[in-house]
Amino acid sequence: MPGIRLIAGLGNPGPRYQDTRHNVGARWVQHLAARHDATLREERRFKGETGRARILGRDLWLLLPTTFMNLSGESVGALARFYRIEPSEILVAYDEVAFDAGMVRLKTGGGANGHNGVKSIIDHLGGNRDFHRLRIGVGRPGDASRMTGYLTGTTMPGGEREAVELALDFGETELTDLLDGQMQKFMNAVHQPTKQSTQDEGS
């Protein structure tokens, strides 16, 4: 399987949404950029903030779409076409309400499962679904009618944010496998009980 050449973190633009649950994918990419000294700059032709990054010896692009979530594909598709990046070389990080905060799962291909950002990316990749998805759990409200406010209207509570950050703090071996396209090895390492749960059981 080919390695990753583009990592896109989904979210809504602007300070109003920065710390909401819907922006956990964007925050992870911002963290990667800061950790590996990559500078992200606004690129109008790509409708996003983007920059080259060298992570563990691998060269790739990082992308933060500056469209709203449901138009994310306009950004991802534009950059992928310009640099001739195949869908199988793309990793998209985004929020997943099917999982509790602190649970991270990797998936390759498949449908959008109701996520409008993912749906937009599929559409703008010509219907190709072969990109990889880093699904970051954020939980769900008790009442489905509160979903929009839950994802975009409130700041993510500190405990949930810490659980997510811990789950996304991949070791060098895990991150190397991910970037090299060794998805099964990455999943074997990451699809385990959360680090926090393991720590709690041992305390």
| Per-residue pLDDT reduced to its tens digit, 40-60 | 999 999 999 999 999 999 999
| Per-residue pLDDT reduced to its tens digit, 142-185 | 898 999 999 999 999 999 999 999 999 999 999 999 999 999 99
Catalytic residue among 22, 115, 124, 132: 22
Q: Is 22 a catalytic residue?
A: yes
Give this prediction's pTM: 0.93
All domains in the chain, ordered by first residue: 6-202 (3.40.50.1470)
**DSSP secondary structure of the chain:** -PPP-EEEE----STTTTTBGGGHHHHHHHHHHHHTTPPPEEEGGGTEEEEEEEETTEEEEEEEE-S-GGGHHHHHHHHHHHTT--GGGEEEEEEETTS-TT-EEEEES---TT-HHHHHHHHHTTT---SEEEEEE----SSGGGHHHHHHTSBPPHHHHHHHHHHT---HHHHHHHHTT-HHHHHHHHSSS-HHHHHHHH-
